[in-house]
Amino acid sequence: MYDIIIIGSGPAGYISAIRASQVGLKTVLIEKENIGGMCLNWGCIPSKSMIESAKFFSKIKKSAKEFGIDGIDTEKIQFNWNQGIERSMNIVKKLSDGILYLLKKNGTEIIKGEAVITSQNSVTVNNRNIEAKNIVIATGSVQKLIELKNPQNIILEVKNLFTKKELPQNLVVYGQNSVAVEIAQMLNLIGKKVTLVVPENRILSKADEYLANYFVNKLQKDKIDLLINSKIDSNSKYEKGKLYINDKVIDCDLIINAENRNAVIPKSNIEIELENGFVKVDENCKTNFNNIFAIGDVNGLSYYAHIGSAQGLHVINHIQGIKSELNIKKYPINMYSVPEVAQIGLTEQEVIAKGKDYKISEFPLSANGKAMTEGETEGFVRIISEAHYGEVYGIQIIAPHATDMIAEASAFMEVEATVYDVAKTVHAHPTISEVFMEAGFEAVYKAIHK
């Protein structure tokens, strides 16, 4: 009898397994494909590696001379797609080996195969019956499929993007989320003609509207064609290099599907309650069975790896009898775009819906010395705070390193800081992070350098 069975080894599953083993729980981790799941093997890590390669290539082309570098004929340099992929796969291997080492070091048993939940306390895998006091479902999610009239093998799931040895010139990216925007920008940076087709009435539905609108303008400025509220479905068709959507005709050699995702529900002989296609959970990620939990993408609360990991740690604490709050609004959401986007806490729309009095303070990177030295002055920090006492409701960042900078915002949110706390937090100079202090001063009275 195990203390815990964990099904799925993505960031939610493997983090839970390591922690469970560390605190003395007898743990078995079941994975039917690759340790590390989607995030490590074809999602977060490979895609961010390729984005960094594309950004580096673009910066050399645009700014080499400005930065005092002679001898580069920017008209002749080319992006080596396969070399970029090789670099990303080397990173994946190092991280994957590291995770496997940590699992074994901490005494987690690993079984490769597909799990079937047979009862509230048992799972079968490879014709073996395993019993445990607790079961954790961490099976992740998968892209919704595109239904297209006459597809002619023109649709590529984003999972398989980095298995392609070469890409054609005219590419359509389909989706409304951060992954779709990241992929569209990456391909644009390496010189592809990109159209982003968005099936909803806006991009980045989880982001503050201010950020989403900013990025609509950014994509258009970068000459990425944008079709909002346009679905690729059975009414659309592909023919001779052209994609027909309603009355629009798009040059298209390949469609990359980066649509929103559906939960991967494990096979089960018991009725685990679902909601909108995801495993329904309570505030502790518990299902309708008091010893079965669901964490990560499969419960539909968030698609972000770090939030899945946080849910996993919370569940292990809960099993151990440690009480804590799982407040997803205190966890950041990131987009690895150009520039990067990050936010935490309430959006302006959510603050308005709650009927709260608020104020917004903002400070641009264009007035920051470090940003100028790096040649990366696009972006800002934006703080939403309570109008009278200054409690920080939410922080939003657009900056080249926004996904790192948001960690400071997370600390402010965790301790329920006010804008006065933000303003008096001393930052080293010159650093990009000084924009926090400036935005804090802007909320209190007036920014120093504005």
Count of all residues that appear for the chain in the document: 450
Residue-wise pLDDT tens for the chain (450 aa)? Answer: 999 999 999 999 999 999 999 999 999 999 998 888 888 888 889 999 999 999 999 999 989 888 999 989 888 899 999 999 999 999 999 999 999 999 999 999 999 999 999 999 999 999 999 999 999 999 999 989 888 877 778 999 999 999 999 999 999 999 999 999 999 999 999 999 999 999 999 999 889 999 999 999 999 999 999 999 999 988 899 988 999 998 899 999 999 999 999 999 999 999 999 999 999 999 999 999 999 999 999 999 999 999 999 999 999 999 999 988 899 889 999 999 999 999 999 999 999 999 999 999 999 999 999 999 999 999 999 999 999 999 999 999 999 999 999 999 999 999 999 999 999 999 999 999 999 999 998 888 777 777
What are 104's two structure tokens? 């074994």
Report all structural domains of the chain as residue ranges with CATH numbers, in order of start: 2-142+262-329 (3.50.50.60), 145-259 (3.50.50.60), 339-444 (3.30.390.30)
| Per-residue pLDDT tens digits for 52-97 | 999 999 999 989 888 999 989 888 899 999 999 999 999 999 999 9
Q: Tell me the one-letter amino acid at 310.
A: A
Q: In terms of Cα–Cα distance, which of 273, 263, 411, 437 is closest to 332?
A: 411
| Per-residue pLDDT tens digits for 359-395 | 999 999 999 999 999 999 999 999 999 999 999 999 9
Say if residue 430 is preceded by a cis peptide, omega within 30 of 0. yes
Report the DSSP pairing between strands 225-227 and 267-268: unpaired
Which pLDDT value is given to residue 36? Answer: 87
Rounded CA separation 368/375 (Å):
11
What 3-state DSSP class applies to 168? coil
Distance (Å) of CA 307 to CA 170, 204, 328:
35, 17, 7
pTM score of the predicted model: 0.93
Which pLDDT value is given to residue 42? Answer: 83
Q: In terms of Cα–Cα distance, which of 190, 171, 98, 175 is closest to 144?
A: 175
DSSP code of 199? S
Which pLDDT value is given to residue 444? Answer: 85
Which pLDDT value is given to residue 147? Answer: 85
What are 168's two structure tokens? 């054609």
Which pLDDT value is given to residue 446? Answer: 76
Which pLDDT value is given to residue 46? Answer: 93
| Per-residue pLDDT tens digits for 308-317 | 999 999 999 9
Rounded CA separation 303/87 (Å):
25
Rounded CA separation 270/268 (Å):
5
